[in-house]
Structure formats: structure tokens, C-alpha cells
């Protein structure tokens, strides 16, 4: 019932907009910023943000948003980030996670990594269907957003190009227990989904709290 109550907290449209905004930033968000971004009064935003935190959908803390410390730096402000806890509801109850973990454990013990990746790549290609491979990062972002990866474009570490990073891994719970197996599967799935011969490619580039795969321009498309 706890998960049902938490998800029910999103029924209010203002509360849902605030949650989606905070979740989409990938960083701490203050009350003023959330209120301005969603077009509501600060007091109303504060009320709903605290409700979301009480429901376990957001985590709250405090810090000085000015970046300064000491006298004159101002009082710490309340900030919010998306909770790391997962919420799901199934009626009647289902336990697909246990099944996925058992299958992953068996595949890892049997050394079926290559077979799993081949199957994942075929599934990605089947999901893409007759569509052409992604021709740029924007096309890949639209495709992956529809599959829950929460992609965002940012500068590469060398600042010479842009890359597509994903704040959410749809396989996070199983990937935590079997990272090489599941991350390899995820990479193969995305390779099939975006197309191996297009203008962008998928590769491993793990970063804490995000999907282990990034999408970047193919080598022959980098000046």
C-alpha cells in the first residue's frame, strides 16, 4: 500500500508538474526555481514539494544557493532531488524483478553474455522496426525518452562535441547486482534501437547515478 499511496500523491496536476521538473534536472532544486519553472506561487510550490518528500518521491535537504559561506551568505534554503527509491504498483501482485534476477544469475553462471547481447541487439532492431537509424542526437533523444531513459544532451568531457547521457536506467535494480551482464545487454539493446550504421553510436561510459551507456556522434561524423 505504501507504493500506491506514493504514486497517488502525483494525482494532483500541480504536484505532478513539480515532481517532473525536479526529477528532470538531475540536481538539487530550490523552491523558488521550482515555483518559477512550473508557474505557481512559491508558497504553493513549497507545500506540494514537502508533500512529495513526505510521500517518499523526493528527498529534501538544505544548502546555501548563493555558493557562499560565512557571514552575509544568507540562510540555507530547502532543496529537493528525486528519491533513489523505486515505486511500482501491480494489481494483482507480480514479481518480475525476482524473475529477472534469477535469469541474470543463471545467464552469468552459464557464461551466456554473448547470447544475451545478441538477443538484446535483435530486440532493439525489432523495436526500431522499419525506421531508419537515428541521424542525430535529437532523434536519439526523442527515441530514448519514449523508453524511459530520461536522456539529456550535454558537452562531452573534452568539450569538442555533444553527447547524449541518460539519467535513468530502466534495468537499474538488476544492473546493480549483475553490472557486466546487464550493462552489456543494455548497450546491445541500444545499438539495435538507434541503428548501428547511423550518424550516432552507443558506447559504455558509466557515471554514478546514470545509465552506463552514452550516445555520441559516430566517428565518421565528427569533424
pLDDT band, very low/low/confident/very high, at 70 (cuts 50, 70, 90): low
Nearest to 105 by CA among 116, 95, 94: 116
Q: Looking at 33-37, 66-70, 114-118, which range is the least confident one? A: 66-70
Nearest to 157 by CA among 199, 191, 207: 207
Q: Using one digit for the tens of pLDDT, what is the confidence trace for 20-33?
A: 999 989 889 999 99
Which residue's entry shows cell 538488476?
174
Share of the chain above pLDDT 90, in %: 72
For the segment 171-178, the average pLDDT, to the nearest whole number, is 94
Task: Evaluate if residue 182 carries a pLDDT over 80.
Answer: yes
Q: What is the DSSP string of 104-134?
A: HHHHHHTT-HHHHHHHHHHHHHHHHTTPPPP
* Length in residues, the chain: 223
Q: Using one digit for the tens of pLDDT, what is the confidence trace for 33-55?
A: 999 999 999 999 999 999 999 99
Q: Residue 185 CB: number of other CB atoms within 10 A?
A: 23
Share of the chain above pLDDT 70, in %: 92
Q: Which three cell numbers stand for residue 141?
A: 533523444
Amino acid at each position: 500500500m505504501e507504493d500506491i499511496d506514493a504514486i497517488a500523491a502525483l494525482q494532483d496536476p500541480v504536484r505532478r508538474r513539480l515532481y517532473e521538473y525536479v526529477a528532470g534536472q538531475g540536481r538539487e532544486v530550490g523552491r523558488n526555481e521550482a515555483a518559477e519553472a512550473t508557474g505557481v506561487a512559491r508558497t504553493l510550490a513549497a507545500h506540494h514539494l514537502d508533500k512529495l518528500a513526505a510521500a517518499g518521491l523526493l528527498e529534501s535537504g538544505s544548502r546555501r544557493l548563493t555558493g557562499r559561506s560565512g557571514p552575509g551568505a544568507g540562510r540555507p534554503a530547502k532543496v529537493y532531488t528525486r528519491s533513489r527509491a523505486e515505486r511500482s504498483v501491480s494489481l494483482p501482485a507480480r514479481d518480475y524483478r525476482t524473475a529477472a534476477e534469477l535469469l541474470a544469475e543463471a545467464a552469468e553462471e552459464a557464461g551466456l553474455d554473448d547470447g544475451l547481447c545478441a538477443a538484446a541487439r535483435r530486440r532493439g532492431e525489432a523495436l526500431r522496426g522499419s525506421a531508419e537509424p537515428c541521424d542525430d542526437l535529437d532523434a536519439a533523444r526523442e527515441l530514448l525518452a519514449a523508453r524511459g531513459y530520461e536522456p539529456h544532451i550535454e558537452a562531452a568531457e573534452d568539450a569538442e562535441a555533444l553527447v547524449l547521457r541518460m539519467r535513468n536506467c530502466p534495468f537499474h535494480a538488476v544492473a546493480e547486482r549483475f553490472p557486466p551482464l546487464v550493462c552489456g545487454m543494455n548497450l546491445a539493446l541500444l545499438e539495435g534501437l538507434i541503428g548501428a550504421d547511423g550518424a550516432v553510436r552507443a558506447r559504455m561510459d558509466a557515471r554514478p547515478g546514470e545509465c552506463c551507456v552514452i550516445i555520441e556522434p559516430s566517428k565518421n561524423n565528427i569533424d
